[in-house]
Amino acid sequence: VAMGQGQSEIALSKLRESAQSGHWLCLKNLHLVTIWLPLLEKALNSLQPHEEFRLWLTAEPHPKFTPILLQSSLKITYEAPAGIKKNLQRTYDSWSPELIARGNNVNKGQSLFVLAWFHAVVQERRTYIPQGWSKFYEFSLADLKAGADILDRLYSNSELKWNTIHGLFENAIYGGRVDNVWDGRVLTAYLELFFNNEVIAGKRPAATHLAPNINIPTTVNYQDYTQLISSLPDDDEPVYFGLPANIERSWQRIASSQVIRSRTNPNTSFSASVRGRIPSQSFHPVRTLHSHYCSSEGS
């Protein structure tokens, strides 16, 4: 049952039926109905379930998700592997060869690859907050799917105009999630940099590349694109994002500082979970090393 407006009673009815018969039930997107979760807890406590009954719950992280329900559940967290290469592989795993080859249009096949690259860049750029984006934006597979559908329809029905793509992606799809002026300018710059006749040149040699040493195939062969993706390095290069070469070092410093704070600040949830098990003096060498590193960087 996909939770949302009008699904609460249906979910409770299915819950009682499944618990009695020993079936499995999955309630999806519980982060959309956090107000309803206490009723779900009450219903669960009143059940006398069949021994084979299982209840699966799916949700995105939400600050108001009831902790009691979390504590009484076995939790599985899925986090996609980081990196542009892995991101592109996930995209092409979700696309069929028919989508790329439909219409036998090389420009369309190249546009889809550029869309996949653009999607990967805006997602993986979130690693470098605040230099990459000012905050974490929820660019999702829904945005990618909407973009692919738009490209497929435009290439099927009319001559594609890049201004149309720029406007739809900037105002209706990806840009709809961005609420910072400077981040909006970055997004616009990416769209103008990637979606143009110099990058997407069809069977002609491209005048501009997406990134160094990346030549977009001039075919509609699905395998050609997946082979290109497989040849990419596993670790992202800052040039892929238009960021300076030392951005990785800056990110490592920020990440290490966050880890150390989570272990030294008694008010953090992590410290609370281990309080009493690990003496605070155990982290003294780590804090000393971190302070020395920061002071040497500043000098």
Is 1.10.8.720 the CATH classification of the domain at 84-241? Answer: yes
b/e map of 236-261 (b: 16 or more CB within 10 Å)? bebebbebeeeebeebeeeeeeeebe
Q: What is the pLDDT of residue 213?
A: 82
- Mean pLDDT, each 10-residue run in order, the chain (299 residues): 85 92 92 89 90 90 84 82 91 94 92 96 90 89 93 83 92 92 95 93 79 89 95 89 82 74 54 37 52 55
Token duo for residue 250: 């800056």
Residues 6+ apart with CB under 8 A from 260: 283, 286, 287, 290
Domain with CATH 3.40.50.300 in the chain: 8-71
Note the pTM of the prediction, 2 decimals.
0.67
Q: What is the pLDDT of residue 56?
A: 92
* CATH H-level, domain 8-71: superfamily: P-loop containing nucleotide triphosphate hydrolases (3.40.50.300)
b/e map of 167-193 (b: 16 or more CB within 10 Å)? ebbbeebbbeebeeeebeebbeebbeb
Regarding beta strands 54-57 and 24-27, do their DSSP bridges make them parallel or antiparallel, or are they unpaired? parallel
Q: Taking CA 253 as the corner, what is the angle to CA 249 and CA 259, rounded to the nearest 5 degrees?
A: 140
14/23 Cα distance (integer angstroms): 10
Residues 6+ apart with CB under 8 A from 126: 132, 133, 136, 137, 139
238/135 Cα distance (integer angstroms): 18
Token duo for residue 42: 């009450």
- For tokens 């009815």, what's the residue? 13
253/226 Cα distance (integer angstroms): 34
- Between the CA of residue 205 and those of 102, 193, 199, what are the distances in Å? 22, 17, 9
Nearest CA among 45, 185, 231, 176 for reference residue 15: 45
Which residues are paired to 55 by β-bridges?
25
Residues 6+ apart with CB under 8 A from 55: 15, 18, 19, 24, 25, 26, 27, 44
Domain with CATH 1.10.8.720 in the chain: 84-241
162/180 Cα distance (integer angstroms): 24
